[in-house]
Amino acid sequence: MKFVNKTVIITGGGSGIGKKAAELFVKFGANVIINGRNDKKLQTAVNDIDPSGKKVSYVSGDISLPDTSKKLVKKAIELFGSVDILVNNTGKFVPTDFLNYQPDDIQSYLDTIVKGTVYPSQAVIPEMKKAGKGVIINTGSMWALNPVEATPSAIYSAAMAARHALTKNMALEFAKDQIRVNAVAPSVVETPIYNNFLSKDEVSKVLNSFNDFHPLGRNGQPIDVANAILFLASDESAWTTGVILPVDGGVTSRIR
């Protein structure tokens, strides 16, 4: 999987799956632009991934605003001359009982996940059309395929299901332009997202309790999903589009 002279945009790239994917893309020769809301976190991530600052840059901003995606594309073109791969990796996950969702909660999922897929894709596709090809990978979720009783997440699941639907629709619409669109659907992956609603001690306890939830006997790590993303971005998957790929330790094989 070689990505020399390829330029990758990764939203939600400051930590977790997005940051690990950025590291791997750079390892295999790509130039990368990452996005998130936290400027300081993005600066730290850039320095961790590429201390030279030659292969990685960032654009901070709210991905639910079209201008943020336009800025990402503009910077990619200015620095590296192209946009070859887009990874829509934004997410929000706070287990919530269905009757407790408030209007702002619902809107935040739509902003982060649905708009966070539509606007970056709309910004990069014209550049990919010019180049005659491109790849978009969306980070979906197992929760969009199967609910999990221990983590009530109806609106999260609905937003991720929309991301899955966008994946298939875009794959079909832009196949004629040689733009491939696929998604990964992870189960429990040990990323900082759980720190948003659990204490440090609770995170360790809760995540450990989910190891046996997976037939392979362990939770996922960011690199497990990042490896799948790189495969879908590579020429090794050149005849694959419109796929929702479970990366879940076997969970969806067991669920009926």
Mean confidence (pLDDT) of the chain: 96
Least confident range from 44-48, 66-70, 204-208, 247-251: namely 204-208
pLDDT of residue 82: 97
Whole-model pTM: value is 0.96
pLDDT of residue 255: 65
Q: Is the pLDDT of residue 256 over 80?
A: no
Answer whether 187's CB lies under 8 Å from 249's CB. Answer: yes
101 is catalytic: no
Chain centroid offset of residue 190 CA? 14
Q: Which of 58, 109, 119, 156 is catalytic?
A: 156
Least confident range from 102-116, 225-239, 242-256: namely 242-256
pLDDT of residue 192: 84
Single-letter amino acid code for the residue at 145: L
Q: Is the pLDDT of residue 149 over 80?
A: yes
Place 1 in a pLDDT band, splitting at 50, 70 and 90: low
Question: What are the tokens at 30?
Answer: 């790509």
Answer whether 153's CB lies under 8 Å from 96's CB. Answer: yes
Q: Is the pLDDT of residue 131 over 80?
A: yes
CB atoms < 10 A from the CB of 179, how many?
Answer: 23
- Length of the chain equals 256
